[in-house]
Amino acid sequence: MRMLHRIFVRFIFIIAIFLPAQAQYTLLLPDQLFDGHNTVRKGWGVLIKEDRIVGVGPISALEIPKDTRQISFPNQTLLPGLIEGHSHVLLHPYNETTWNEQVLNETEAERVVRATNHLKASLLAGFTTLRDLGTEGAGYADWGLKQAIEKEIIAGPRLFIASKAIIATGSYAPKRTGFAYEVPQGAEEADGQHLIQVVRDQIGKGAEWIKIYADYRWGLQGEAKPTFTSEEWHDIVATASSAGRMVSAHAATEEGMRRAIEAGVRTIEHGDAGTTTVFQNMADKHVALCPTLAAVEAIAQYSGWKKGQEPDPPRIKAKKESFKNALRQKVPICMGSDVGVFSHGENVKEMELMVEYGMAPLDVLISATSGNAEIFGLERQLGSIKPGLWADLVAVSGDPTQHISDLRKTTFVMKGGKIYLSVTPKP
Ligand SMILES: [Zn+2]
């Protein structure tokens, strides 16, 4: 009997080896579909095989294999997974704990544990990809988090990371004058020829992007002033690009932006003091702007501004003006919020503000999908609903192409063909 049983088990095992693995097809049937570009379609379906999109089109035109699992989305819109262009998963809102306090007094272990929550919140909010721009004192922990997501130990978006980020000596924070002892910094200091080595070292430790602080608040009155010289910028970009890495510049001053753009960076973060000439230059060179509107508003509110009840403070007025100017000059806009300054999973705040500050909802959606994918060189992998791309898809109740806040009503999140959220929409 035992012998028979053993033969039977072996027989089943052999069948399992020789039978081709059952292909897993899923058909998503939304009320309407936004493909990441200009079009909104009704009556279309998306066919997924394992981790990829294999078909998209009118349902009657799709070849649907037998045994395909079907999921319908009545009164919902299906979109490509959203891409956050500027996050800090190792930070949490500054009104909970100040930035200084997080960098100096939270252990790396605590910060990583918090980050696992942040990553899950981002994914469930529909953000299937994040470009994370610096660990702010948490070393190379972003690399470990990326590994943990890829190994499916934790749930999180696809991460594209910058590791420690690079600052000019003396320029960044925590400010040394605030302490009687040497304090660790929120990014890695380097200058002159040493920059070449630091860029290479960060690449060696996992940096997919090189993040540079082009200016910081180190003027005599604490105002923002440029950091790296044009010669230093040249070395940074040459070193990064020869290793196939693009450069992102934190830049809020006109001169900081000018030097970074001239050197060949891919994105400017913040860009508050951009002038018409600077923005024209960005448009000509196809350098994108991550405006981080939500972070600017969050910081104004943390210092007491009551939005809606009080007039806009000067910083907000100036930000609105400069954002509108960037739009007028046709600068490519990256959807990048600086989330971490405010709550992870609240990334849609940035998209709501982009609309409030003058962008059409459809353009904002393009920015957060195919636009960011193109800026980050990922358009062949994600950002659109097209055959061959990763099956990163999100459904929301309502129509975010008309009402951007409908993005908050997430009902379904799929990343690489795996479903992370699937709920019946609230009536
Ligand atoms: Zn940032």
pLDDT grade for 18, boundaries at 50, 70 and 90: very low
Query: Ligand 1 centroid vs 134 CA: distance in angstroms?
Result: 7
pLDDT of residue 38: 85
**What order do you get walking across the sheet with 209-213 strand by strand?**
188-189, 166-167, 209-213, 246-251, 267-270, 288-290
pLDDT digits (tens, 9 = 90+) for 65-120: 999 999 999 999 999 999 999 999 999 999 999 999 999 999 999 999 999 999 99
Query: Ligand 1 centroid vs 86 CA: distance in angstroms?
Result: 6
Query: Ligand 1 centroid vs 267 CA: distance in angstroms?
Result: 12
**Angle between helical axes of 254-263 and 230-242 (0-180°, round to 10):** 40
pLDDT digits (tens, 9 = 90+) for 175-215: 999 899 999 999 999 999 999 999 999 999 999 999 999 99
CA 55, distance to chain mean position in Å, is 26
pLDDT grade for 11, boundaries at 50, 70 and 90: very low
DSSP secondary structure letter of residue 81? P
- Give 143's contacts (C-beta < 8 A, 6+ positions apart): 161, 163, 205, 206
pLDDT at 381 over 70: yes
pLDDT digits (tens, 9 = 90+) for 349-361: 999 999 999 999 9
pLDDT grade for 39, boundaries at 50, 70 and 90: confident
Out of 13-27, 244-258, 283-297, 389-403, pick the least confident. Answer: 13-27
* Residue environment code for 45-79, b if the CB has 16+ CB neighbours within 10 A, otherwise e: bbbbbeeebbbbbeeeebeeeeeeeebebeebbbb
Mean pLDDT of 270-282: 98
pTM higher than 0.75: yes
Q: Are 420 and 158 in contact (CB under 8 A)?
A: no
Closest Cα partner for 100 from 178, 167, 215? 178
Query: Ligand 1 centroid vs 230 CA: distance in angstroms?
Result: 22
pLDDT grade for 376, boundaries at 50, 70 and 90: very high
Q: What is the mean pLDDT of the chain?
A: 95
Domains and their CATH numbers in the chain: 21-80+385-422 (2.30.40.10), 82-346 (3.20.20.140)
pLDDT at 19 over 50: no
Query: Ligand 1 centroid vs 291 CA: distance in angstroms?
Result: 11
Q: Are 40 and 34 in contact (CB under 8 A)?
A: yes
pLDDT of residue 20: 45
pLDDT at 346 over 60: yes
Report residue 386 as tokens: 């097209």
Query: Ligand 1 centroid vs 295 CA: distance in angstroms?
Result: 9
Query: Ligand 1 centroid vs 149 CA: distance in angstroms?
Result: 22
pLDDT grade for 23, boundaries at 50, 70 and 90: low
